Structure 1
Amino acid sequence: MSARRVGPFARAALVSLVAAAGACSGPASAVLPPPRVSSQAPAPAAPPAELTPQPAPSDLSQKTATAPADPQPETAAPDDLSPQTAKRPAPTTPLELVFVGDIILGKYRLDAYAPLFAADADPFAAVADLLKADAAIANLETPLMHTRPERSPIYIGSRFGADKQAARALVGRFAALGVANNHALDLLTAGLEQTPAVLRELGLTPVGEARKTGDVVQVATLERGGWRVALLAATTWLNRSPAPGDPALAVFKTGEMPRRLLPAVRSARATHDLVVVLLHWGQEYSEGPDHAQKTAARRLLAGGADLVVGHHPHVLQGLERHEHGLIAYSLGNFLFANTDERSRESGVLRVRYLPGQRCPERASFHPVWLGEAPGFTPAPAPAAQAKEIAKHMQARSKLLRTPLTRDGDALVLSGWSCPPEPDPKAM
């Protein structure tokens, strides 16, 4: 067939047909990668209406994780607030929040169980004054059951678990506990389901609990002195994959945290005075965050969060002041069976807010030293240890361009310049 010349009008029609065909095929970014399991769990392809988790592998020697369903895309907060939100009076008194690191209440050793403290003991007695605040918040790395099994139901190196009686040690010290972490399935389905129930029965608020239906990213609310504080939690991996039918946890890669969490952050921003995000992430025994963590934390603050608090590395990492907010990348251990001398360095982070302000009036870090085996209980750090802890925290925070100044035994961060409340439609 001989070639023919195409006139200008025919050429325009051809261009229009090609463009329409490309639009029907959709952008390349709409094609999600297949699901896979890794220590930094990526998001799977969008599942059908009923999500069926993959069965747990028979070989549990590797750290594995299963990511939950992809939530809705990021959306801005609604243009108008509900009448109930609009009528809610603003806080009139300051708010002080306290944050600490990882807590376990007991662990399995081979075929035996080792509690970290006696049934009638108070492991937090020595730090009671440091924990006094409107609300104290920690990461609970011990799944709970009403009655704990005598032997571990799984076979991995570190296996944690405790019963309701042991969890009573948290009452009167803490208001909320993050439960989205890599040990959430150490007591299998029973522990995954009973942990939030036990905490609620004790008057404590679970943050990041597993869910059978709905979005795995959820907001827990603390109300203190007229303040409404939103709490969210997520983890980057699990020790084992969930069993079929297990409730799903918020398990995401570090780089995916902003995309997965910001819709809930923005929604909470419209109905809460503060938004706090608890993240179980990072590398164990690393003294600082990686680039992905820093980027994710800063994006969460820019998108509406006020505080980002990290756990899992078992050692202290630096504090970072970013715009109006504060990032604590890792607060180390707080009650833990320590395996490394560095992990005995701990601390209490106190953050104080004034009414009508999202940036802290003052943040202070108070050095804590974890005791000897078998209790490893926290106490205000003796002079020598306090000096070393302060030195380490100042150096690690300086790398994040956040100077900490000494005020007695504490390290202090103050002098925020509070920006105007951002327009949710612009975030």
Structure 2
Amino acid sequence: MKKTLLFWGLSLVLLSGLMAQDKLKMIFVGDIMGHGPQIESAAIEANKLYDYSPCFKFIAPLLAQSDLAIGNLELTLPGKPPYTGYPTFKSPDELPLALRAAGFDLLVTANNHSNDGGLLGVQNTVKTLEKNGFYQTGTFIDSSYRAALYPLIVYKGSFKLAFLNYTYGTNGIPTPKPAVVNVIDEKVIKADIEAAKAHQPDAIITFVHWGDEYQLTENERQRSLAKKMLDWGSTMVIGSHPHVVQPIKTYPLPQADSTMRNGLVVYSMGNFISAQTKIYTDIGLMVEIELEKNASTQKTAISKTEYIPVYRYLYRAPGAAKSTYMTLPVAAFENGLMATQQPMSEATRAAMKQSADVIRKNLTQFGAIERKVSAEEILQSTEK
């Protein structure tokens, strides 16, 4: 009898493990910026020592719930001063250190600021991210590096994922040889998706830096390219660059076997953290996407998509010499329930909620669903 119970116990454990591996939760965030005020805020000793960890204190509990956390790193890491913000973004290496500690796993680096630091900036960004344990793609040390490591293939549990990344341009700064920055070229993207399909991944995730800055609606070029990339085989398209939130949309796609699949496009997640002050640039998204694999057919589909509005908060503690940039989940803070953990004036809270509600309305009209993050969910983790 004991042997029978032991057998069934082991079977249940193994079955439970298999079922758990058949779902994969990813969290995507928008533009991780490095403006001058952010660099100054993080400085403990200018040009020598920086601390960005307070920026992500209230986001780390959410990242910890994912199997993969992914962001767009819109800056370069030259590895030495001078560190600068707009128009040429060069940040200290302590920033990726803090991002890794907060729970990020993968950073894409093809954007209009990829070449801000010249050859050193491109190459050292790749090396620094690798040194800190990140998956990274979009920019490469040289063409042989790209040939060997692109598409980026990531294994997680029972899932194999392919990641691609492209930018519309690099602000007119030519990519310094021998470095490579992926730019939008439809023939190249189609070929890269075909190369990704040859790996037989469970999902192909394509990141694109595109669109019109500060516009809450995607343009026709985005829609056209998104549809092509889905038709070519991308499971989802994740967008960045506008610095404000644009819609999340699902497109039904007929398949060769007469079935249908849903292709997902997140047109822009806005800023994750920045020092921009234009309207709605202080509100961004974390987008949680769950993949589910059918254990019998081994087919994978998107089973859940939810968004979490986040707010860039600038806080100066009483008596402090300078302010701290923070990213906060809006729902946990908008009702004042986190006041003992993180003070916020009523005027700031009202402004945060007003901006977030505009974004929510824009997303809801296309069927996007918000995951309401509670204050308790954040408190339980930050108080440990």
Band the TM-score falls in, shorter-chain normalisation: 0.7 to 0.9
Paired amino acid for 1:95? L
Show the counterpart of 2:158: 226
Q: Which moved more, 1:298-307 or 1:213-222?
A: 213-222
CA distance in 2 between partners of 1:390 and 1:117 (Å): 34
- Normalised to the residue count of structure 2, the TM-score between the two structures is 0.73
Q: SS at 2:40's partner residue?
A: strand
Show the counterpart of 1:85: none
What runs of 5+ residues in structure 2 fail to find an aligned partner? 1-17, 45-49, 253-261, 316-322, 335-349, 375-384
Q: Which moved more, 1:299-308 or 1:385-394?
A: 385-394
Paired amino acid for 2:70? I
Are positions 1:279 and 2:208 aligned together?
Answer: yes
Show the counterpart of 1:269: 197
Are positions 1:195 and 2:133 aligned together?
Answer: no
Q: Shift of the alpha carbon at 1:117?
A: 6.4
Contact 1:318–1:393 (CA<8 Å) still a contact in 2?
Answer: no
Paired amino acid for 1:379? L
Q: Shift of the alpha carbon at 1:206?
A: 1.2
Show the counterpart of 2:241: 312
The structure whose residues are more often helix, as a share, is: 2
Show the counterpart of 1:248: 180
Q: Shift of the alpha carbon at 1:108?
A: 4.4
Q: SS at 2:143's partner residue?
A: coil
Percent of aligned pairs with the same amino acid: 24
Q: SS at 2:238's partner residue?
A: strand
Contact 1:367–1:386 (CA<8 Å) still a contact in 2?
Answer: no
Q: 1:157 to 1:336 in 2, by over 3 A?
A: closer
Q: 1:388 to 1:243 in 2, by over 3 A?
A: closer
CA distance in 2 between partners of 1:213 and 1:91 (Å): 38
Q: SS at 1:329's partner residue?
A: strand
Alignment of 1:12-411 (within 5 A): 92-104=21-33, 106-108=34-36, 114=40, 116=42, 119-122=50-53, 123-132=55-64, 133-146=66-79, 148-150=80-82, 157-172=86-101, 173-213=103-143, 218-242=150-174, 245-252=177-184, 256-257=185-186, 259-271=187-199, 272-323=201-252, 324-356=262-294, 357-372=299-314, 374-381=323-330, 382-383=333-334, 385-386=352-353, 388-396=355-363, 398=365, 402-405=366-369, 408=372
Show the counterpart of 1:18: none
Q: Shift of the alpha carbon at 1:221?
A: 1.8
The CA deviation string for residues 295-320 of structure 1, in whole angstroms up to 9 with x for no partner, is 11111111111111111110001100
Q: Which moved more, 1:348-357 or 1:383-392?
A: 383-392
Q: Shift of the alpha carbon at 1:266?
A: 2.2
Q: 1:244 to 1:203 in 2, by over 3 A?
A: closer
Contact 1:319–1:397 (CA<8 Å) still a contact in 2?
Answer: no
Q: Shift of the alpha carbon at 1:391?
A: 4.4
Show the counterpart of 2:257: none
Q: Shift of the alpha carbon at 1:344?
A: 0.7
Contact 1:368–1:386 (CA<8 Å) still a contact in 2?
Answer: no
CA distance in 1 between partners of 2:29 and 2:370 (Å): 20
CA distance in 2 between partners of 1:346 and 1:241 (Å): 27
Q: 1:244 to 1:166 in 2, by over 3 A?
A: closer
CA distance in 2 between partners of 1:102 and 1:140 (Å): 6
The structure whose residues are more often strand, as a share, is: 2
Paired amino acid for 2:217? G
Q: Shift of the alpha carbon at 1:115?
A: 5.1
Q: 1:290 to 1:117 in 2, by over 3 A?
A: farther
CA distance in 1 between partners of 2:370 and 2:117 (Å): 43
Contact 1:107–1:159 (CA<8 Å) still a contact in 2?
Answer: no
CA distance in 1 between partners of 2:368 and 2:190 (Å): 29
Paired amino acid for 1:353? L
Q: 1:145 to 1:261 in 2, by over 3 A?
A: same
Paired amino acid for 1:235? T
